[in-house]
């Protein structure tokens, strides 16, 4: 039995990879990371959107393709591979899933159809549900929201933002309305933007079904974790490729360093550690759409926690293979390194996610 990506999924993935190869070289990524490539970033974003990523998870009845999460995983792998400097996990994965799962018919019609036509963009922040900090949190009263949310994804240039309180009640706010303050957070990853959102008695459109079922917010978090794992998978794949290519070119003592046993072992270890991760992430995405809540959540936790650890090791070893060059801005390897590092912490660090997996299996009783 063959288990892998379909021809259609590979087609989507290859198109995104090719576009990033042609339009987002390391020099262009460096400009964007340094804040000098706003127009360039817009062009890259528009080019990727033209490939149809905004329609993937929007149901057909609202003008989208209505495909499963595995298609989005294929795209996320490609974006991680090319350190794509565009919004994706929040705007085009978690947001449409949240709206489709928890929104009323009117809310779905209002928002999902506009995502499919690219009339609106969404940001999303569920960190207050996953694990709010002591000085953060959101309160909802009489259709008004007040509080503070951290690590809101894809909020930059977003028309609407989906947030949640600790109880898993998700709601939509208009990012341009009075009482909304967006502050860009400084993170190690300069290829993506994350914000702090402060709300002061802001009108909110509560996603009705989330008020009655906390499992819906958990399901959205599961999707986000799988997508982050896929992004790390793609970034790790790229770091291995770069390490192998460098080991074939760099010479020491009149020999390519790839001929040294120590370097061979490092490259082989990276490849052997990553290979099983493809099936793990793909199975988690397939399970998300087809299996029971408990089974799909367990696989999402496993994918996120395991890829966080494997990605950390690969980013370390790949940098070591490059020697001193690996730490320079000239080479640009640090963009993948830092992306993997931030993915590790978003929506729960490995320790937190493994604890959730233990609870699902009853190991903590």
For residue 96, which of 129, 66, 74 has the smallest C-alpha distance?
A: 66
The CB-side HSE value for 247 (13 A sphere, CA atoms) comes to: 23
User: What pTM did the predictor assign?
Assistant: 0.95
2 within domain boundaries = no
DSSP state of 91: I
Check whether residue 348 and residue 258 sit in a common domain: yes
In a domain, 173, yes or no: yes
Query: Same domain, yes or no, for 175 and 291?
Result: no
Beta strands in the chain (DSSP E): 122-125, 137-141, 144-153, 160-164, 170-174, 180-184, 194-203, 205-206, 251-252, 255-256
Are residues 327 and 270 located together in one domain of the fold? yes
Q: At what angle do helices 26-33 and 334-345 cross, to 10 degrees?
A: 60
Shared-domain flag, residues 274 and 299: yes
Do 143 and 96 belong together in one domain? no
Query: Is the pLDDT at 1 greater than 60, yes or no?
Result: no
Mean pLDDT (the chain, rounded): 92
pLDDT surpassing 80 at residue 331:
yes
Domain range enclosing 329: 215-360
Residue 82 lies in a domain: yes
Domain count for the chain: 3
Asked if 139 and 91 sit in the same domain, the reply is no
pLDDT-based confidence at residue 131 (cuts at 50, 70, 90): confident
Examine the domain organization and report whether 239 and 288 are in the same domain.
Answer: yes
Structure tokens at 336: 């993948």
Q: Categorize the per-residue pLDDT at 327 as very low, low, confident or very high, splitting at 50, 70 and 90.
A: confident
């Amino acid at each position: 039995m063959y288990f892998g990506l379909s021809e259609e999924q590979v087609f989507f993935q290859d198109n995104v990879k090719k576009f990033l190869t042609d339009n987002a070289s390391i020099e262009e990524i460096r400009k964007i990371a340094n804040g000098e490539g706003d127009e360039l970033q817009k062009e890259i974003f528009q080019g990727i959107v033209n490939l149809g990523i905004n329609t993937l998870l929007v149901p057909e009845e609202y003008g989208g393709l209505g495909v499963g999460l595995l298609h989005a995983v294929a795209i996320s792998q490609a974006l991680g591979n090319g350190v794509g400097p565009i919004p994706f996990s929040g705007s085009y994965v978690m947001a449409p899933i949240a709206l489709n799962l928890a929104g009323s018919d009117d809310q779905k019609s209002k928002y999902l159809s506009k995502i499919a036509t690219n009339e609106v963009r969404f940001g999303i922040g569920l960190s207050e549900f996953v694990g709010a900090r002591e000085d953060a949190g959101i309160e909802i009263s009489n259709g008004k929201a007040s509080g503070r949310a951290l690590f809101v994804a894809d909020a930059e240039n977003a028309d609407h933002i989906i947030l949640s309180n600790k109880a898993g009640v998700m709601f939509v706010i208009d990012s341009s309305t009075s009482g909304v303050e967006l502050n860009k957070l400084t993170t190690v990853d300069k290829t993506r933007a994350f914000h702090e959102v402060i709300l002061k008695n802001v009108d909110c459109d509560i996603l009705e079904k989330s008020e009655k079922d906390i499992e819906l917010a958990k399901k959205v978090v599961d999707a986000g974790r799988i997508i982050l794992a896929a992004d790390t998978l793609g970034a790790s794949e790229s770091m291995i490729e770069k390490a192998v290519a460098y080991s074939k070119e760099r010479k020491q003592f009149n020999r390519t360093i790839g001929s040294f046993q120590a370097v061979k072992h490092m490259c082989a270890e990276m490849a052997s550690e990553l290979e099983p991760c493809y099936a793990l992430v793909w199975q988690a995405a397939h399970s998300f759409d087809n299996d029971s809540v408990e089974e799909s959540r367990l696989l999402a936790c496993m994918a996120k926690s395991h890829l966080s650890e494997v990605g950390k090791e690969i980013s370390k070893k790949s940098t070591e293979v490059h020697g001193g060059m690996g730490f320079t801005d000239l080479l640009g390897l640090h963009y993948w390194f830092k992306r993997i590092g931030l993915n590790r912490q978003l929506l729960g660090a490995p320790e937190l996610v493994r604890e959730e997996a233990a609870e699902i299996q009853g190991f903590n009783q």
